Amino acid sequence: MGPKKLTRAAVHTKRKNLISENSDFALVEAYKTARTNMMFSLAAASSKVVVFTSCAPVEGKSMTCVNMALALAQTGSNVLVIDADMRKPTIHSLLRITSSKGLSTVLGKFCGLEKALEKDVYPNLDVMIAGTIPPNPAELLASSQMGELLSVLESHYDFILIDSPPVSVVSDTLLLSRLIAGYVFIVREGYTTHGAIEQALQSISLAEGKVLGFMKVGCKPQGKGYYQYNYRYEYK
């Protein structure tokens, strides 16, 4: 079991967009800055559960969620990533996890928690994929089982990062507002519009959710030989 996981992790680090010791220096430092800001914003919070969302698909929220989890795990913190996008999950593909057990199978009581956790995908980083796509994802996220599950997991992990569906596409993300510390909003340079952001923020406000900050992805290098941070974390 050990060698297999080491091999899997070694394959992961070769993926172009996952941060590793071979990543561009500016990119790694940007994630470290975002990590520091996130840890400060959560210092006084009663919950250490953070949901990553965006306005629309293909804005980079899933990859950003995984990379932030990697950055947090590098501090020695015990971190869990949960794929709560049970309509169009991607975490299993990003990390090449083949199991069919995950969030949906736990909430549906088809398997126990331990069987749905992928342990040590990276050092200090566990993952719970979305599992089998259910017919009722919104109902599962709004269920009492979801609250109970997060309560149990919070006693075992320092940080829990949840990848959720785009907030402007379905209501699933908003159903988590009462269970979490807040949302990190991913926006893509040259793609996400101000109108889409305003609409999404209004939805989160109506759900009485808290936006912890924004991370901008897809930033272009500035000047010859100099790279601007590709990811930024900004307080709201």
Instruction: Using a pLDDT cut of 70, give the percent of the chain over it.
Output: 86
Beta bridge partners of 82: 128, 162
- Mean pLDDT, to the nearest integer, of 225-231? 36
- Mean pLDDT, to the nearest integer, of 127-155? 96
Q: What is the pLDDT of residue 219?
A: 74
CATH code of residue 46 = 3.40.50.300
Q: Give the closest residue to 61 by CA, choosing from 221, 202, 183, 190.
A: 183
74-100 per-position pLDDT tens digit: 999 999 999 999 999 999 999 999 999
Q: What is the pLDDT of residue 72?
A: 97
Domain that holds residue 25: 2-234
Q: What is the pLDDT of residue 51?
A: 97
Q: What is the pLDDT of residue 89?
A: 95
- Give the pLDDT band (50/70/90) at residue 117: very high
- Give the pLDDT band (50/70/90) at residue 11: very low
- Mean pLDDT, to the nearest integer, of 54-66? 90
- Give the pLDDT band (50/70/90) at residue 227: very low
Q: What is the pLDDT of residue 16?
A: 55
Angle between helices 25-42 and 61-73 (to 10 degrees): 80
- Structural domain count, the chain: 1
Cβ neighbors of 37 (< 8 A, separation 6 or more) are 213, 233, 235
- Mean pLDDT, to the nearest integer, of 137-164? 97
Q: Distances in Å between the alpha carbon of 206 and those of 138, 172, 189, 200, 203?
A: 17, 14, 26, 10, 5
3-state secondary structure the chain: CHHHHHHHHHHHCCCCCCCCCCCCHHHHHHHHHHHHHHHHHHCCCCCCEEEEEECCCCCCHHHHHHHHHHHHHCCCCCEEEEECCCCCCCHHHHCCCCCCCCHHHHHCCCCCHHHHCEEEEECCEEEECCCCCCCCHHHHHCCHHHHHHHHHHHCCCCEEEEECCCCCCCCHHHHHHHHCCEEEEEEECCCCCHHHHHHHHHHHHHCCCCEEEEEEECCCCCCCCCCCCCCEEECC
d(CA 85, CA 87): 5
